[in-house]
Amino acid sequence: MNAWDLVIRKGNVVLRDRVEQLDIGIRDGKITALGEHLICPEHTPVFDAEHLHVMPGMVDAHVHFNEPALGHWEGFRTGSASLAAGGCTTYIDMPLNGVPPTVRVSALEAKLAAARGESHVDYALWGGLVPGNREELRGLADAGVIGFKAFMSNPGGEGEDIFREVDDTTLFEGMQEIAKLGLVLALHAESEDIVSKLGDEARQAGRSGALDFIATRPVEAEVEAVRRALTYAEQTGCKLHFVHISSGEAVDIITEAKAKGLDVTVETCPHYLALTSEDVARIGPVAKCAPPIRSAQHNERLWALLAAGRFDIIASDHSPSPTSMKEGAFFDAWGGISGAQSSLELLVGEGYVRRGIPLPLLAKMLALEPARRFGLHPRKGEIAVGADADLAVVNVGTSYTLQAGDLLYRHKHSPYVGREMLCRVQATFMRGKQVYDEGTGVTPEPGGDWVQYSTAIGGGRHG
Ligand SMILES: NC(=O)NC(NC(N)=O)C(=O)[O-]
Ligand SMILES: [Zn+2]
Ligand SMILES: [Zn+2]
C-alpha cells in the first residue's frame, strides 16, 4: 500500500510565514506530510513542481453564480470551471442574483439543488439579510450558511422575488439577531441616499459617461455607510465584514474600529487594485461596478494599505451578466465585473511579481483569512498537515496575454482581456485531485461538494 496517493515534488510551497521548497504528501484528499525529501514507495504518482510555486487554493468569499433561475447569466458549472482554472478551490456564493434569493431555507435548498453535482470545486453559501426576513436567519444558520450578506444600497436586478437593500431598522435588528447566531454580517457599504441622489442628478443633467458614473458613487458614500454600520456593530456586538472596499479612507476607519476592539474585517477586490478610472473610461461598461473603480491615486493607496497588511481578505466579486448587458450606455449597463478566473493571477502577478509583496501575505488574504473568518478553517485555507489538499500551482516566471478564448465564464467578457498577466496557474488540485491543468483544461467531471460552517474551530459559531 502506498503511503500517499500523490506527492507534489519540490515546489516552492507558500506556508503561513515563509516559502520553502518541500514535497507535499497527499492521501485521501488530505495533506498528510510536508517534508524536504519524502521517500515514496515505488509507483507513487508524482507531480513535479520544481521551479513552480505551490499556494493554498484560493478561498473566494465573494462570487455571484446566479442559479437558480438566472443560470443563463452564469451557472455553477461554468463559474466554478473558471475558478478551477484560476487556482481557486473553494468559493462562497452570494445570496442574490438568483431567483429565489437565499433569504429563507427553502431558497437555500433550491440553491443547493442547482449546485449539486455541478461544481468543479468546493463551495459554501451565504444567506441574505433583507427587509422582512429576520425570522428566517436562525433557520438559515442552522441549515449551514457561513454568514449573512446585506446591501446598504440598491443591488439592482428586476422582478418580484428579488434581493433588496436594508433600511436602517432592518440592518440594526438584523445585526442584533446575527450577533446571537455568532455569524458574520457581510455588507455592501454605500449610502443609498447619496448614490441615488447623485445618480438622479447626473441623469437629469445628461452626464452619462464612465467618469460621470464614478462621480455618482463617491468615497463619501462608502465612508458614510461604513461609519453607520460600525456604530450599529458597536451597539449590537455583531461581527462585520465589509466587502469590496474601494477607498483608503474607509480602510482607515475600519482599522480604527479594529483598534477599538470591534470584530470587523475588510475585503477589497482585484479590480480596485489592477484597474483605474482611466481604464474604466477606456474599457467601458465591462469594467462597471459598484462601488466604482477610482483614480490612480486611490489605486496606489490601496496597494500601500495591502502591503501594510490592512486588508484581511481579497475576493473576486465576480458578478457576471450576459454580454448584451455590458454594452451601450454606461449608466444603464449591469454593474458587476466578471473577473474570478483572474483573481489569484492578478494578485500574484501585480502584487508579488511587480511589487514584491510577499507570497505568504497574499496567500493569507486569498485563502487563510477567508477560510478562518467564514468557518472553513482548518479544513481549508492553508497548506498544512491535516488540511484538505487544495492547491494552486503557479508559474511566476512566465507571462501571457489573456484572451477572451481563455475565459471559462458563460459569457466571455472581462476587463482583463488583452492584459498581460504576470504569472500563470499551471495546475489546480482540489482535495488531492487535479481539477485543472494548463494544457488540458478543467477535468470534465465536477467533484466539488458543499462545505458548511465548521464547528471544529473555537467550539463552533457560538463559541
Ligand atoms: N447585484 C450585484 O451583483 N451587485 C454586485 N455588483 C457590483 N459590485 O457592481 C455587488 O456585489 O454589489
Ligand atoms: Zn456589492
Ligand atoms: Zn458582489
The answer to whether residues 125 and 177 belong to one domain is yes
What CATH number is attached to the domain comprising 40?
Answer: 2.30.40.10
Asked if residue 12 belongs to a domain, the reply is yes
Cβ neighbors of 320 (< 8 A, separation 6 or more) are 64, 66, 73, 74, 79, 336, 338, 409, 410, 411
Q: How many domains does the chain have?
A: 2
The answer to whether residues 92 and 162 belong to one domain is yes
Q: Which residues line ligand 1 (CB under 6 A)?
A: 64, 96-97, 155-157, 188, 244, 289-290, 317, 319, 335-336
- Closest ligand 1 atom to the C-alpha of 155? 1
Write out the residues surrounding ion ligand 2, Cβ under 5 A.
188
The answer to whether residues 325 and 255 belong to one domain is yes
The answer to whether residues 219 and 306 belong to one domain is yes
Note the pLDDT of residue 459. 42
Determine if residue 149 is labeled as part of a ligand binding site.
Answer: yes
- Closest ligand 1 atom to the C-alpha of 157? 1
All three cell numbers of 12: 516552492
Give the distance (Å) from ligand 2 centre to CA of residue 113: 25
Give the distance (Å) from ligand 1 centre to CA of residue 56: 27
Determine if residue 188 is labeled as part of a ligand binding site.
Answer: yes
Note the pLDDT of residue 160. 87
Asked if residue 289 belongs to a domain, the reply is yes
Each residue's pLDDT, cut to its tens digit, for the chain (463 residues) gives 679 999 999 999 999 999 999 999 999 999 999 999 999 989 999 999 999 999 999 999 999 999 999 999 999 999 999 999 999 999 999 999 999 999 999 999 999 999 999 999 999 999 999 999 999 999 999 999 999 999 999 999 888 889 999 999 999 999 999 999 999 999 999 999 999 999 999 999 999 999 999 999 999 999 999 999 999 999 999 999 999 999 999 999 999 999 999 999 999 999 999 999 999 999 999 999 999 999 999 999 999 999 999 999 999 999 999 999 999 999 999 999 999 999 999 999 999 999 999 999 999 999 999 999 999 999 999 999 999 999 999 999 999 999 999 999 999 999 999 999 999 999 999 999 999 999 999 999 999 999 998 855 444 565 3
The answer to whether residues 88 and 135 belong to one domain is yes
| pTM summary value | 0.98
Give the distance (Å) from ligand 2 centre to CA of residue 242: 9
The answer to whether residues 76 and 45 belong to one domain is no
Asked if residue 440 belongs to a domain, the reply is no
Asked if residue 284 belongs to a domain, the reply is yes
The answer to whether residues 266 and 130 belong to one domain is yes
The answer to whether residues 312 and 293 belong to one domain is yes
Give the distance (Å) from ligand 3 centre to CA of residue 318: 7
Note the pLDDT of residue 458. 43
Asked if residue 424 belongs to a domain, the reply is no
Would you give the DSSP letter of residue 293?
A: P
All three cell numbers of 207: 452626464
Nearest CA to ligand 1 atom 1: 155
Reported as type and span, the H/E element at residue 236 is helix 219-236
Asked if residue 412 belongs to a domain, the reply is no
The answer to whether residues 46 and 75 belong to one domain is no
Which of 19, 36, 51 is where one domain is finished?
Answer: 51
What is 110-158 written as a DSSP string?
HHHHHHTTT-SSEEEE-EE--TT-GGGHHHHHHHT--EEEEESS-----
Determine if residue 62 is labeled as part of a ligand binding site.
Answer: yes
The answer to whether residues 193 and 289 belong to one domain is yes
Nearest CA to ligand 1 atom 2: 155
The answer to whether residues 301 and 315 belong to one domain is yes
The answer to whether residues 158 and 21 belong to one domain is no
* ipTM attached to this prediction: 0.98
- Closest ligand 1 atom to the C-alpha of 336? 9
Which of 339, 373, 407 is where one domain is finished?
Answer: 373
Note the pLDDT of residue 456. 52
Give the distance (Å) from ligand 2 centre to CA of residue 148: 13
Asked if residue 387 belongs to a domain, the reply is no
Nearest CA to ligand 1 atom 11: 317
Q: How far apart are CA 387 and CA 410, in angstroms?
A: 31
Determine if residue 244 is labeled as part of a ligand binding site.
Answer: yes
From 269, 289, 316, the mutation candidate for ligand 1 (largest count of ligand atoms within 8 A of CB) is: 289
Asked if residue 73 belongs to a domain, the reply is yes
Note the pLDDT of residue 159. 86
> Containing domain of residue 42, as a range?
1-51
From the number of C-beta atoms within 10 Å of its C-beta (0-12, 13-18, 19+), residue 256 rates as exposed
Nearest CA to ligand 1 atom 6: 336
From the number of C-beta atoms within 10 Å of its C-beta (0-12, 13-18, 19+), residue 207 rates as middle
What CATH number is attached to the domain comprising 74?
Answer: 3.20.20.140
Among 215, 182, 180, 181, which Cα is nearest to 197's?
215
Quote the distance between the C-alpha of residue 130 and its chain's center: 21
- The pairing of strands 420-421 and 400-401 is antiparallel
